[in-house]
Amino acid sequence: MIETKVETLIQKPVSIVFAYVRNMTNQTAYNQSIYSCEVKNPEATEYKIQIDLGIFKLNEIYKIEEVIENKRIIASCTANGMKFTDSYEFLEQGQNCLLSISDKMELKGLFQLSEGLVKMNLKTQMTENLNKLKKILES
């Protein structure tokens, strides 16, 4: 299992950061791996996403498993060769938001052979995505 965590302080209130991140369709604006994301149900708990992770491309369902308003979002995706779970944690720091994003990825079958490569690239990519998100929210 690959576990990666990134965090940053965003100069916006938690409620604004949470609302932007909770709308998963916004991921196409800041996550370089996600090419499309569309809501699949009225509750906005399932999203059809297209992901390009370099070594493989996915067209899957990204499911919101838990939402605690202005505190946490947990979402996951299961595909043939992998499963990943993302946790978004929102912590008030004065009038700003400390955002932590954790990703737990389990590769299966032949995909396990690429674990070293995925692990090296994932931290860099998550950091770049978070920096882009911060820039969008603070501008």
Note down the domain range covering 56.
Answer: 2-138
Total structural domains within the chain? 1
Residues 6+ apart with CB under 8 A from 27: 34, 37, 49
Each residue of 21-79: pLDDT tens digit? 999 999 999 999 999 999 999 999 999 999 887 666 889 999 999 999 999 999 999 98
- For residue 127, the domain's CATH number is 3.30.530.20
Q: Dump the DSSP string for 39-101.
A: E-STTS-EEEEEEE-SS-EEEEEEEEEEEETTTEEEEEEEETTEEEEEEEEEEEETTEEEEEE
Each residue of 88-106: pLDDT tens digit? 999 999 999 999 999 998 8
What pTM value is reported for the model?
Answer: 0.91
